[in-house]
Structure 1
Amino acid sequence: MTQTAGSAVEDRTAVTEALARLPRVVDLLAARAEEHDRDGTFPYQGIEAVHEAGLLTLTVAQKYGGAGGTLADTVRVLAQLGRGDASVAVLTAFTLLQHAEQARTGAWPAAGYRRLLTESRRGPALVNTLRAEPEGAGPLPATVARWDGEAWLLTGRKADCAGAEALAWMAVWARTEEPVPRVGTFLVRGDSEGVEIDPTWDQLGLRASAGHDVILDSVRVGPEGALKLAAPGTAGAAESAAAETSRAWHDLALCAVHLGVARAAQEWLVRFLQQRTPANLTEPLATLPRYRSALGEIEAALIGAEELVYGLAAGVDRGEASATARTGAAQLLVNRAVTGAVQQAVALTGNPGLSRRHPLERYLRDVLSGRTHFPADEVVLEATGRAVLDRAARRS
């Protein structure tokens, strides 16, 4: 992350070099994915490999000495990492999203972000936003920040915090304990006094992503670590637009991870069909028209999903409001496509596809569990329908 801005071609050098290292990283992740999935252990070696390849800081802005990776770069990287190990890809995604948001908004205090970049030069420095709470979504977060005259003291519990045990920084969504509460993000060091990890993560898939609960007990945060404190519902047009862009990055980044998982499932299916010759046949299953047609259906679904993700990512990079507005519906369509593709692969292979001796059943569990990072379908569809009605009302 020492590159300085130069010509347009030179500005892409760090990104190009990082992308060139991807195949080796993907192979390393794939070699250890089954072990971490089976044991539910954290993939430290995989995260280290992603970091050493320059992929964990790909979206650090050039003004901070980084590569300045775009959303289009990000989705392509995450799709490849997802082929190797979806858990590592998810953890990488959340860190890349933090750096990308800092590049766009500069919300972190200068000293705090310099510290994060320094840590990132020394080794992997994972970051994640902690929003979810065991009680579920409400108008205000249950996590409370109380001002003691010198600093904020954070108390509460956050759920499903991917990478919890290894986070260098946590961006905690909380409300202030004031007569008129304000809501914002509080920057918490992962090793802060009062932070406790409750190992609750025991999911069907993404088992190595360590999405444990984080308990905050009067965790001290200096005044400079409180970001964007504001009364709920008072965000202006600029803040709303920035939030929509952040949501678009999140939607497409996580979709890309799931696309990678589906491609890995397809690759395994192809090998299976080419090698499997049942006792009642003289040639492999791949020679039968019905299997080729089914494989073609999977390919068509994944092509459509990829074009949607990559096309919208390029549009968001260009600042197109229409692309940003469509990523919510796109993630629903992409997740349906990739889930359907992996389920069809399992159906085509029968018992072998469900055996833990093969990775296909892990791919299925991972794509199903990935939905924990997105709103429920009915929420997305209701919002999409409301947008359609709003457009109609404006035209009338």
Structure 2
Amino acid sequence: MTDYLSTGTLPEEYQQLALTVRDFTQQVVAPVSAKHDAERSFPYEVVKGMGDMGLFGLPFSEEFGGMGGNYFTLCLALEELAKVDQSVAMTLEAGVSLGAMPIYRFGTQEQKERYLPELVAGQALAGFGLTEPGCGSDAGGTRTTAVRDGDEWVINGSKQFITNSGTDITKLVTVTAVTGQRDGKKEISTIIVPSGTTGFVVEPPYHKLGWHASDTHPLAFTDCRVPQENLLGDEGRGYANFLRILDEGRIAIAAVSVGVAQGCVDECVRYAGEREAFGKTIGSYQAIAFKIARMEARAHAARAAYYDAAALMLSGKPFKKAAAVAKLVAGEAAMDNSRDATQVFGGMGFMNETVVARHYRDSKILEIGEGTTEVQLMLIGRELGL
């Protein structure tokens, strides 16, 4: 990966992965993308295809059925998928970085052996239950509680905006909950709640502006009992552990955003070379050419930002600031490019059957999910000592 930063060329194995996912995206994802978006239906056949390809196992060790790759390989796959369908990309992103990764990073050997094989194979999905009503960006304001009763945890509370939480193949959600107090502060832990557990209710899906084919639900827990061994990681370390997961996830979200930004460029280059106005292709007009050139510059800069953050992460160096920078600039690039692409397409850009129209609706959440733009600015400022 560092070869790319110095020479502009990815190593062969990374190039082959990107090309393989690109082919899958064009042959399998693109033909059904508009249909699932219009029907607001979950793309089970696409998810199965991604599982068969090993995409859900990219950053996991072979011990649990993974591909033995790294987090950057996941990001490359996400970038390619997001060029065409953000919902599909987010299903993979959340399934890996938010669903399986907490168990991989912090689970006991027994938990890993029980849950990871299906998650890594894409045969099952897991949700990441962090956000709550009234405390979105303020994750430390968690109100959901988990009280120990004998050898069980009794969970009460609610979560919102939880991806992959209500599909037919959802196996579990991991939830943050207050399990006590220490030095006058909340002690937050993470607990695994299998799907179908009594007292755990997946409420009806949201009617969202975008990401129509991505599964998103509010969750309710009422005297929900799970065994004590469902604690994920050390008691009281749930908040810290999830912050680590979010730092990594921001790199993945940046990769999704770069895919969107580049996808908009690619669509505009194609359309501007075909659409004629006043006797010439619209791409021959400087106003259009300059607009697309700026779009390309945004995508290029955002890609360099997430590559840099991933390189720091994989080398074991501090990457919090770099991840926040990548998330910030890539999210804005996706939003700006989708808006400009809609303008380039004119009236056709307002039609839902076009990729750019779907990107325009979908992209706004990239400036909100897994840390808003304002949160990223706050994190960058803190890392600068401000």
Q: Under TM normalisation by the shorter chain, which class is it?
A: 0.7 to 0.9
Structure 2 vs 1, CA of residues 221 and 200 (structure 1 numbering), >3 Å: closer, same or farther? same
Q: Deviations over 1:104-133 (max 9, x none)?
A: x3x212222212234347752112211011
Match of 1:223 among 228, 251, 263: 228
| Superposition deviation, residue 343 in structure 1 | 1.1
Matches within 5 A, 1:7-22: 21-22=20-21
| Superposition deviation, residue 160 in structure 1 | 0.3
5+ long unaligned stretches in structure 2: 1-10
Larger radius of gyration: 1
Matched, 1:168 2:168: no
* Aligned mates of 1:251, 1:168 — CA distance in 2: 24
Aligned AA (1:88): V
Residues 83, 263 of structure 1: 8 Å contact kept? yes
Structure 2 vs 1, CA of residues 18 and 306 (structure 1 numbering), >3 Å: closer, same or farther? closer
Residues 130, 159 of structure 2: 8 Å contact kept? yes
Hey, what does 2:118 align to over in structure 1?
A: 119
Hey, what does 1:186 align to over in structure 2?
A: 191
Matched, 1:314 2:315: no
| Superposition deviation, residue 101 in structure 1 | 4.6
Structure 2 vs 1, CA of residues 73 and 110 (structure 1 numbering), >3 Å: closer, same or farther? same
5+ long unaligned stretches in structure 1: 1-11, 391-396
Hey, what does 1:388 align to over in structure 2?
A: 384
Aligned AA (1:49): G
* Aligned mates of 1:123, 1:243 — CA distance in 2: 22
TM-score (norm 1): 0.84
Quick one: percent identity of the two aligned structures?
A: 22
Residues 57, 120 of structure 2: 8 Å contact kept? no
| Superposition deviation, residue 54 in structure 1 | 0.5
User: 3-state SS of the aligned residue for 1:186?
Assistant: strand
Aligned AA (2:273): Q
Residues 244, 324 of structure 1: 8 Å contact kept? no
Residues 161, 212 of structure 1: 8 Å contact kept? yes
Structure 2 vs 1, CA of residues 177 and 159 (structure 1 numbering), >3 Å: closer, same or farther? same
Hey, what does 1:23 align to over in structure 2?
A: 22
Residues 21, 77 of structure 2: 8 Å contact kept? yes
Matches within 5 A, 1:1-396: 21-27=20-26, 28-97=28-97, 98-103=99-104, 105=105, 107-120=106-119, 124-137=123-136, 139-166=140-167, 167-176=170-179, 182-231=187-236, 245-278=244-277, 281-321=278-318, 323-389=319-385
Residues 140, 183 of structure 1: 8 Å contact kept? no
Aligned AA (2:188): V
| Superposition deviation, residue 79 in structure 1 | 0.4
Aligned AA (2:214): S
Residues 143, 175 of structure 1: 8 Å contact kept? yes
**What do you get for the CA RMSD once the two structures are aligned?**
2.8
* Aligned mates of 1:229, 1:199 — CA distance in 2: 32
| Superposition deviation, residue 191 in structure 1 | 2.6
| Superposition deviation, residue 283 in structure 1 | 2.1
Structure 2 vs 1, CA of residues 15 and 349 (structure 1 numbering), >3 Å: closer, same or farther? closer
Residues 60, 69 of structure 2: 8 Å contact kept? yes
User: 3-state SS of the aligned residue for 2:196?
Assistant: coil
Structure 2 vs 1, CA of residues 130 and 289 (structure 1 numbering), >3 Å: closer, same or farther? same
* Aligned mates of 2:95, 2:302 — CA distance in 1: 24
| Superposition deviation, residue 16 in structure 1 | 8.7
Q: Deviations over 1:5-31 (max 9, x none)?
A: xxxxxxx99989865641343121121
Aligned AA (2:292): L
Residues 57, 121 of structure 2: 8 Å contact kept? no
Residues 210, 361 of structure 2: 8 Å contact kept? yes
Hey, what does 1:7 align to over in structure 2?
A: none
* Aligned mates of 2:132, 2:103 — CA distance in 1: 24
| Superposition deviation, residue 212 in structure 1 | 1.0
* Aligned mates of 1:22, 1:162 — CA distance in 2: 22
Residues 29, 46 of structure 1: 8 Å contact kept? yes
TM-score (norm 2): 0.86
* Aligned mates of 1:226, 1:120 — CA distance in 2: 18
User: 3-state SS of the aligned residue for 1:207?
Assistant: coil
Aligned AA (1:23): R
User: 3-state SS of the aligned residue for 1:133?
Assistant: coil
| Superposition deviation, residue 355 in structure 1 | 1.8
Residues 61, 99 of structure 1: 8 Å contact kept? no
